[in-house]
A and B are shown apart, each in its own frame.
Chain A
Amino acid sequence: MSGDGGPLLGGGGFFGRGGFGPGPYGMGPGGPYGAWPGCGCASLFIIIGGMFLVCGGFLSLFENMFRGYGY
Protein backbone atom coordinates (compact mmCIF):
# COMPACT_ATOMS: atom_id res chain seq x y z
CA MET A 1 0.00 0.00 0.00
CA SER A 2 1.14 3.57 -0.66
CA GLY A 3 1.99 5.96 2.13
CA ASP A 4 -1.35 7.76 1.97
CA GLY A 5 -3.29 4.48 2.22
CA GLY A 6 -4.57 4.47 -1.37
CA PRO A 7 -4.03 1.62 -3.82
CA LEU A 8 -0.79 1.31 -5.77
CA LEU A 9 -0.87 1.44 -9.54
CA GLY A 10 -0.32 -2.00 -11.03
CA GLY A 11 -2.24 -3.97 -8.41
CA GLY A 12 -5.66 -3.69 -10.02
CA GLY A 13 -7.00 -1.46 -7.26
CA PHE A 14 -8.03 1.29 -9.68
CA PHE A 15 -9.22 -0.77 -12.64
CA GLY A 16 -10.91 -3.39 -10.55
CA ARG A 17 -12.13 -6.75 -11.67
CA GLY A 18 -13.90 -7.08 -14.94
CA GLY A 19 -15.98 -9.53 -16.92
CA PHE A 20 -18.06 -11.97 -14.95
CA GLY A 21 -20.22 -11.26 -11.98
CA PRO A 22 -22.63 -8.46 -11.13
CA GLY A 23 -20.11 -5.70 -11.98
CA PRO A 24 -20.52 -2.84 -14.44
CA TYR A 25 -20.50 -5.24 -17.37
CA GLY A 26 -21.36 -8.46 -15.55
CA MET A 27 -24.30 -10.29 -17.00
CA GLY A 28 -25.58 -12.12 -13.94
CA PRO A 29 -24.51 -14.76 -11.45
CA GLY A 30 -21.70 -16.90 -12.73
CA GLY A 31 -21.01 -14.79 -15.84
CA PRO A 32 -22.54 -14.14 -19.23
CA TYR A 33 -23.75 -17.69 -19.62
CA GLY A 34 -25.93 -17.74 -16.55
CA ALA A 35 -25.51 -19.60 -13.29
CA TRP A 36 -22.74 -22.03 -14.11
CA PRO A 37 -21.03 -23.75 -11.20
CA GLY A 38 -17.31 -23.68 -10.85
CA CYS A 39 -16.99 -19.94 -10.45
CA GLY A 40 -18.06 -18.78 -7.00
CA CYS A 41 -20.16 -21.88 -6.32
CA ALA A 42 -17.06 -24.01 -5.66
CA SER A 43 -16.61 -22.59 -2.17
CA LEU A 44 -20.27 -23.17 -1.35
CA PHE A 45 -20.09 -26.84 -2.32
CA ILE A 46 -16.92 -27.35 -0.35
CA ILE A 47 -18.54 -25.78 2.71
CA ILE A 48 -21.61 -28.00 2.36
CA GLY A 49 -19.32 -31.00 2.02
CA GLY A 50 -17.54 -30.00 5.20
CA MET A 51 -20.85 -29.68 7.04
CA PHE A 52 -21.80 -33.18 5.96
CA LEU A 53 -18.47 -34.46 7.28
CA VAL A 54 -19.08 -32.85 10.65
CA CYS A 55 -22.66 -34.16 10.82
CA GLY A 56 -21.44 -37.61 9.87
CA GLY A 57 -18.87 -37.48 12.61
CA PHE A 58 -21.46 -36.53 15.22
CA LEU A 59 -23.82 -39.29 14.08
CA SER A 60 -21.02 -41.84 14.35
CA LEU A 61 -20.31 -40.54 17.84
CA PHE A 62 -23.95 -40.89 18.91
CA GLU A 63 -24.11 -44.36 17.37
CA ASN A 64 -21.10 -45.45 19.39
CA MET A 65 -22.62 -43.90 22.52
CA PHE A 66 -25.83 -45.97 22.10
CA ARG A 67 -23.78 -49.10 21.48
CA GLY A 68 -22.00 -48.48 24.72
CA TYR A 69 -25.37 -48.53 26.59
CA GLY A 70 -26.11 -51.98 25.15
CA TYR A 71 -29.16 -51.06 23.10
Chain B
Amino acid sequence: MAHSSSYTTALTPPEERVEPPVADAAERVSAVVEAHYDFVWRTLRFVGLDDAAAEDGAQQVMCILARRIDDVAPGAERSFLFSTAMRVAATLRRTASRHPESSDEDIEALVAATPSAEELLDERRAHEVLRRVLDAMPVELRIVFVLYEIEEMTMREIAETLGIPAGTAASRLRRGREAFDSIVRRMQTARGRHGGSP
Protein backbone atom coordinates (compact mmCIF):
# COMPACT_ATOMS: atom_id res chain seq x y z
CA MET B 1 0.00 0.00 0.00
CA ALA B 2 1.41 3.36 -0.96
CA HIS B 3 2.27 5.79 1.80
CA SER B 4 3.18 9.43 1.71
CA SER B 5 4.57 11.94 4.12
CA SER B 6 1.03 12.87 5.09
CA TYR B 7 0.72 9.55 6.91
CA THR B 8 2.94 10.97 9.64
CA THR B 9 0.18 13.47 10.36
CA ALA B 10 -1.49 11.10 12.77
CA LEU B 11 1.71 10.93 14.81
CA THR B 12 2.19 14.70 14.89
CA PRO B 13 0.85 16.79 17.78
CA PRO B 14 -2.34 18.58 16.73
CA GLU B 15 -0.81 22.04 17.08
CA GLU B 16 1.94 21.11 14.63
CA ARG B 17 -0.26 19.42 12.09
CA VAL B 18 -0.63 20.64 8.56
CA GLU B 19 -3.76 19.42 6.84
CA PRO B 20 -2.80 16.94 4.12
CA PRO B 21 -3.94 17.65 0.60
CA VAL B 22 -7.33 16.20 -0.25
CA ALA B 23 -5.85 14.29 -3.20
CA ASP B 24 -3.59 12.49 -0.72
CA ALA B 25 -6.68 11.23 1.13
CA ALA B 26 -8.14 10.03 -2.16
CA GLU B 27 -4.92 8.18 -2.98
CA ARG B 28 -4.94 6.58 0.44
CA VAL B 29 -8.57 5.49 0.08
CA SER B 30 -7.77 3.94 -3.31
CA ALA B 31 -4.79 2.09 -1.89
CA VAL B 32 -6.74 0.78 1.09
CA VAL B 33 -9.70 -0.33 -1.04
CA GLU B 34 -7.41 -2.10 -3.45
CA ALA B 35 -5.47 -3.79 -0.66
CA HIS B 36 -8.35 -4.86 1.54
CA TYR B 37 -11.53 -5.15 -0.52
CA ASP B 38 -11.17 -8.92 -0.85
CA PHE B 39 -10.58 -9.25 2.89
CA VAL B 40 -13.77 -7.30 3.66
CA TRP B 41 -15.78 -9.33 1.19
CA ARG B 42 -14.48 -12.64 2.55
CA THR B 43 -15.18 -11.51 6.11
CA LEU B 44 -18.76 -10.66 5.26
CA ARG B 45 -19.24 -14.05 3.58
CA PHE B 46 -17.69 -15.90 6.49
CA VAL B 47 -20.04 -14.24 8.95
CA GLY B 48 -22.97 -15.57 6.97
CA LEU B 49 -23.84 -13.23 4.11
CA ASP B 50 -24.39 -14.59 0.63
CA ASP B 51 -22.52 -13.25 -2.42
CA ALA B 52 -24.94 -10.45 -3.23
CA ALA B 53 -25.24 -9.24 0.36
CA ALA B 54 -21.47 -9.44 0.81
CA GLU B 55 -20.96 -7.26 -2.27
CA ASP B 56 -23.46 -4.73 -0.97
CA GLY B 57 -21.82 -4.84 2.43
CA ALA B 58 -18.32 -4.40 1.03
CA GLN B 59 -19.28 -1.28 -0.85
CA GLN B 60 -21.00 0.14 2.23
CA VAL B 61 -17.89 -0.51 4.25
CA MET B 62 -15.70 1.24 1.68
CA CYS B 63 -18.06 4.20 1.50
CA ILE B 64 -17.71 4.59 5.25
CA LEU B 65 -13.94 4.33 4.89
CA ALA B 66 -13.90 7.06 2.23
CA ARG B 67 -15.86 9.41 4.45
CA ARG B 68 -13.81 8.71 7.57
CA ILE B 69 -10.34 8.11 6.15
CA ASP B 70 -8.87 10.97 8.17
CA ASP B 71 -10.03 9.26 11.37
CA VAL B 72 -8.20 6.03 10.51
CA ALA B 73 -4.67 5.90 11.85
CA PRO B 74 -2.02 4.59 9.44
CA GLY B 75 -1.65 0.86 9.90
CA ALA B 76 -5.09 0.52 11.50
CA GLU B 77 -6.98 0.30 8.24
CA ARG B 78 -7.71 -3.43 8.36
CA SER B 79 -8.95 -3.22 11.94
CA PHE B 80 -11.19 -0.31 11.02
CA LEU B 81 -12.54 -2.18 8.02
CA PHE B 82 -13.21 -5.33 10.02
CA SER B 83 -15.07 -3.48 12.78
CA THR B 84 -17.09 -1.60 10.19
CA ALA B 85 -17.82 -4.82 8.33
CA MET B 86 -19.22 -6.41 11.48
CA ARG B 87 -21.61 -3.52 11.99
CA VAL B 88 -22.65 -3.51 8.35
CA ALA B 89 -23.16 -7.28 8.43
CA ALA B 90 -25.41 -6.99 11.46
CA THR B 91 -27.59 -4.52 9.56
CA LEU B 92 -27.63 -6.54 6.36
CA ARG B 93 -28.53 -9.75 8.15
CA ARG B 94 -31.79 -8.14 9.07
CA THR B 95 -32.67 -7.47 5.45
CA ALA B 96 -30.56 -9.57 3.07
CA SER B 97 -30.77 -13.29 2.46
CA ARG B 98 -28.42 -15.14 4.72
CA HIS B 99 -27.49 -18.52 5.92
CA PRO B 100 -29.38 -19.19 9.14
CA GLU B 101 -27.51 -20.36 12.23
CA SER B 102 -26.77 -24.04 11.77
CA SER B 103 -28.59 -26.57 13.91
CA ASP B 104 -27.43 -30.07 14.75
CA GLU B 105 -29.61 -31.34 11.90
CA ASP B 106 -27.78 -28.99 9.52
CA ILE B 107 -24.44 -30.34 10.71
CA GLU B 108 -25.68 -33.86 10.12
CA ALA B 109 -26.78 -32.86 6.64
CA LEU B 110 -23.39 -31.25 6.00
CA VAL B 111 -21.60 -34.38 7.20
CA ALA B 112 -23.84 -36.62 5.12
CA ALA B 113 -23.09 -34.56 2.03
CA THR B 114 -19.31 -34.64 2.42
CA PRO B 115 -17.78 -34.40 -1.06
CA SER B 116 -15.22 -36.85 -2.25
CA ALA B 117 -11.54 -35.99 -2.39
CA GLU B 118 -11.85 -35.61 -6.16
CA GLU B 119 -14.70 -33.17 -5.82
CA LEU B 120 -12.70 -31.09 -3.37
CA LEU B 121 -9.98 -30.65 -5.97
CA ASP B 122 -12.37 -27.99 -7.26
CA GLU B 123 -11.34 -25.08 -5.04
CA ARG B 124 -14.66 -23.34 -5.37
CA ARG B 125 -16.44 -26.46 -4.15
CA ALA B 126 -13.98 -26.80 -1.29
CA HIS B 127 -14.53 -23.16 -0.40
CA GLU B 128 -18.27 -23.64 -0.21
CA VAL B 129 -17.83 -26.68 2.01
CA LEU B 130 -15.49 -24.67 4.24
CA ARG B 131 -18.08 -21.94 4.44
CA ARG B 132 -20.72 -24.40 5.56
CA VAL B 133 -18.37 -25.82 8.16
CA LEU B 134 -17.68 -22.34 9.49
CA ASP B 135 -21.40 -21.55 9.51
CA ALA B 136 -21.80 -24.51 11.84
CA MET B 137 -19.42 -22.96 14.39
CA PRO B 138 -20.51 -20.45 17.03
CA VAL B 139 -19.97 -17.01 15.56
CA GLU B 140 -17.60 -15.69 18.25
CA LEU B 141 -15.32 -18.70 17.72
CA ARG B 142 -15.72 -18.55 13.96
CA ILE B 143 -14.55 -14.93 13.76
CA VAL B 144 -11.31 -15.54 15.66
CA PHE B 145 -10.72 -18.78 13.76
CA VAL B 146 -11.20 -17.09 10.37
CA LEU B 147 -9.09 -14.07 11.22
CA TYR B 148 -6.23 -16.27 12.40
CA GLU B 149 -6.29 -19.32 10.16
CA ILE B 150 -7.52 -17.77 6.90
CA GLU B 151 -6.79 -14.06 7.06
CA GLU B 152 -3.54 -14.76 8.92
CA MET B 153 -3.78 -11.89 11.37
CA THR B 154 -1.67 -12.19 14.49
CA MET B 155 -3.31 -12.93 17.81
CA ARG B 156 -2.37 -9.46 19.00
CA GLU B 157 -4.03 -7.88 15.96
CA ILE B 158 -7.13 -9.98 16.51
CA ALA B 159 -7.38 -9.05 20.18
CA GLU B 160 -6.97 -5.35 19.36
CA THR B 161 -9.42 -5.49 16.48
CA LEU B 162 -12.09 -7.24 18.51
CA GLY B 163 -11.37 -5.26 21.66
CA ILE B 164 -10.89 -8.39 23.75
CA PRO B 165 -8.07 -9.51 26.05
CA ALA B 166 -5.35 -11.60 24.47
CA GLY B 167 -6.30 -14.53 26.69
CA THR B 168 -9.89 -14.41 25.47
CA ALA B 169 -8.72 -14.37 21.85
CA ALA B 170 -6.46 -17.36 22.51
CA SER B 171 -9.28 -19.24 24.22
CA ARG B 172 -11.67 -18.60 21.32
CA LEU B 173 -9.08 -19.76 18.82
CA ARG B 174 -8.51 -22.97 20.75
CA ARG B 175 -12.23 -23.65 21.04
CA GLY B 176 -12.74 -22.68 17.41
CA ARG B 177 -10.10 -25.18 16.36
CA GLU B 178 -11.80 -27.85 18.45
CA ALA B 179 -15.16 -27.08 16.84
CA PHE B 180 -13.66 -27.09 13.34
CA ASP B 181 -11.81 -30.35 13.91
CA SER B 182 -14.89 -31.97 15.39
CA ILE B 183 -16.99 -31.24 12.32
CA VAL B 184 -14.22 -32.25 9.92
CA ARG B 185 -13.68 -35.55 11.78
CA ARG B 186 -17.34 -36.36 11.44
CA MET B 187 -17.15 -35.57 7.74
CA GLN B 188 -14.15 -37.86 7.36
CA THR B 189 -15.92 -40.64 9.16
CA ALA B 190 -18.96 -40.22 6.93
CA ARG B 191 -16.75 -40.17 3.85
CA GLY B 192 -15.07 -43.36 4.99
CA ARG B 193 -18.44 -45.03 5.47
CA HIS B 194 -20.03 -43.85 2.24
CA GLY B 195 -17.12 -42.91 -0.01
CA GLY B 196 -18.34 -39.30 -0.23
CA SER B 197 -21.51 -38.16 -1.97
CA PRO B 198 -21.81 -37.82 -5.74
> Are chains A and B native binding partners rather than an unrelated pairing?
no
